[in-house]
């Protein structure tokens, strides 16, 4: 079994949290997820804090602007680009201030090339996904931007080790030819698995740190992620329909960020206990047929997806539950 770049029994979040106060959010993450904290994302702050805008701001020499509520390529950097950069700088300043002595792994998040290509529009109209040349330029630009982003965090936190999470919720739809055109009457041509893996591999190889690919959609393309060189996959356990591909990926050494807690509570129900969270993961692991001793090293406990729309009290309970569930699994 390979060595994994996180401690045994770790838990983490997947990025987004409610609210607009980055100082408070960073304190929460460092307090509740001390073994594997992450840089929080606060989309309620508005344009530039959303996933597509924040990711587009990392592109190198590909400026963007907000037009009729959508992000599109722009001829030159403008006010929208400056807002994205300002929000990220504030976030990094808080991370630097609060985690300056932190010496463990820390996780960053950014949208992957396929979700960006499906979410960003060309200046002439239509999504970037329609133009293979534009997708190649986008991928190269994102790879360089993320390389710089990782290097900046390493400079600010010299004792920490950085992990990068690529958010790819649109990847299954890209592979299935299910991304609609502007008219909504047709869809963009499907991308084959080799092409999808190649773009992801470009980013993985550029950043030089372990990469987790997060996909909270059904039918996560695990072979594509393995071919891209991902260190782990983050997925919602509630969306797993076929265990065989997941078992094959785990057997091949892929780490699993197991989304074991709903992002919204069932009406009238309290958050699940750490014992219930740990048991859910144990049952899955047993069904996959792997020895229990292997679980705490290869699996990280997470919420099912981002928590931006959840109540703050639920968020705190979920993060604490994930942390304590990871520790329960490590005690086996």
**CATH number of the domain that 186 lies in?**
3.20.20.210
**Across 210-223, average pLDDT:** 95
Q: Is residue 201 part of a domain?
A: yes
| Poorest-pLDDT segment among 150-154, 225-229, 254-258, 310-314 | 310-314
pLDDT tens figures, 101-133: 999 999 999 999 999 999 999 998 899 999 999
Confidence at residue 332, expressed as pLDDT on a 0 to 100 scale = 65
Answer yes or no: is pLDDT of 26 > 90. Answer: yes
Q: What angle do CA 321, 323, 325 make, to 5 degrees?
A: 65
CB atoms within 10 A of CB 326: 31
CB 108 within 8 A of CB 162: yes
* Residue 22 tokens, joined: 């980055």
* Residue 66 tokens, joined: 């907000």
Confidence at residue 66, expressed as pLDDT on a 0 to 100 scale = 95
CB 45 within 8 A of CB 21: no
**Across 49-70, average pLDDT:** 96
Place of tokens 């780490």: 255
What share of the chain in percent tops pLDDT 90? 91
**Across 176-195, average pLDDT:** 91
* Residue 195 tokens, joined: 């092409």
Confidence at residue 183, expressed as pLDDT on a 0 to 100 scale = 80
First CA to last CA distance, the chain: 18
**Confidence category of residue 155, pLDDT binned at 50, 70, 90:** very high
Answer yes or no: is pLDDT of 206 > 90. Answer: yes
Nearest to 246 by CA among 283, 271, 264, 219: 219
**Across 51-73, average pLDDT:** 96
Give the number of domains in the chain. Answer: 1
Nearest to 313 by CA among 109, 28, 15, 33: 28
Confidence at residue 2, expressed as pLDDT on a 0 to 100 scale = 72
Answer yes or no: is pLDDT of 184 > 80. Answer: no
Confidence at residue 204, expressed as pLDDT on a 0 to 100 scale = 98
Q: Is residue 275 part of a domain?
A: no
CB 139 within 8 A of CB 127: no
Confidence at residue 218, expressed as pLDDT on a 0 to 100 scale = 86
Q: Is residue 253 part of a domain?
A: no
**Across 43-58, average pLDDT:** 97
Domain region containing 195: 46-230
* Residue 264 tokens, joined: 């919204």
Q: Is residue 148 part of a domain?
A: yes
Q: Is residue 21 part of a domain?
A: no
Nearest to 260 by CA among 193, 323, 186: 323
CA distance linking residue 170 with residue 228, whole number of Å: 16
User: What is the residue-averaged pLDDT of the chain?
Assistant: 95
Confidence at residue 189, expressed as pLDDT on a 0 to 100 scale = 94
CB 312 within 8 A of CB 18: yes
CB 38 within 8 A of CB 109: yes
Question: 254: Cβ–Cβ under 8 A, 6 or more apart, which residues?
Answer: 222, 225, 226, 230, 231, 232, 233
Q: Is residue 91 part of a domain?
A: yes
The b-or-e profile of 21-49 (16+ CB within 10 A means b, else e) is ebeebbebbbebbebbbbbbbbbebebbb
**Confidence category of residue 193, pLDDT binned at 50, 70, 90:** very high
**Across 145-167, average pLDDT:** 98
Q: Is residue 223 part of a domain?
A: yes
Q: Give the C-alpha distances (Å, rounded to integers) separating 269 from 134, 218, 282.
A: 47, 25, 22
Answer yes or no: is pLDDT of 273 > 70. Answer: yes
**Across 212-236, average pLDDT:** 96
* Residue 228 tokens, joined: 């891209």
Q: Is residue 243 part of a domain?
A: no
Secondary structure of residue 280 in the 3-state scheme: helix
């Amino acid at each position: 079994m390979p060595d994994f770049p996180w401690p045994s029994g770790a838990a983490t979040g997947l990025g987004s949290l409610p609210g607009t106060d980055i100082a408070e959010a960073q304190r929460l993450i460092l307090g509740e997820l001390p073994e594997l904290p992450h840089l929080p994302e606060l989309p309620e702050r508005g344009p530039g804090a959303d996933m597509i805008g924040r990711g587009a701001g990392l592109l190198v020499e590909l400026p963007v602007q907000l037009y009729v509520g959508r992000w599109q390529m722009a001829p030159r950097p403008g006010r929208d680009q400056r807002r994205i950069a300002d929000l990220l700088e504030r976030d990094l300043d808080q991370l630097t201030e609060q985690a300056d002595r932190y010496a463990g792994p820390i996780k960053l998040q950014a949208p992957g090339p396929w979700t960006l290509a499906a979410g960003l529009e060309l200046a002439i109209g239509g999504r970037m996904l329609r133009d293979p040349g534009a997708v190649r330029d986008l991928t190269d630009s994102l790879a360089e931007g993320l390389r710089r982003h990782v290097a900046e965090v390493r400079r600010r936190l010299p004792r920490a080790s950085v992990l990068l999470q690529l958010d790819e919720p649109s990847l299954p739809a890209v592979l299935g030819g299910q991304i609609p055109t502007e008219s909504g009457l047709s869809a963009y041509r499907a991308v084959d698995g080799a092409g999808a893996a190649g773009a992801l591999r470009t980013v993985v190889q550029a950043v030089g740190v372990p990469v987790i690919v997060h996909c909270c959609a059904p039918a996560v393309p695990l072979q594509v992620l393995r071919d891209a060189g991902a260190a782990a996959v983050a997925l919602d356990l509630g969306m797993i329909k076929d265990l065989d591909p997941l078992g094959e990926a785990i057997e091949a050494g892929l780490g699993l960020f197991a989304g074991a807690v709903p992002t919204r509570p069932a009406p009238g129900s309290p958050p699940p206990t750490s014992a219930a969270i740990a048991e859910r993961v144990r049952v899955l692991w047993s069904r996959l047929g792997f020895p229990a001793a292997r679980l705490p090293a290869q699996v990280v406990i997470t919420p099912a997806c981002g928590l931006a729309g959840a109540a703050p009290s639920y968020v705190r309970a979920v993060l604490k539950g994930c942390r304590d569930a990871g520790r329960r699994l490590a005690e086996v």
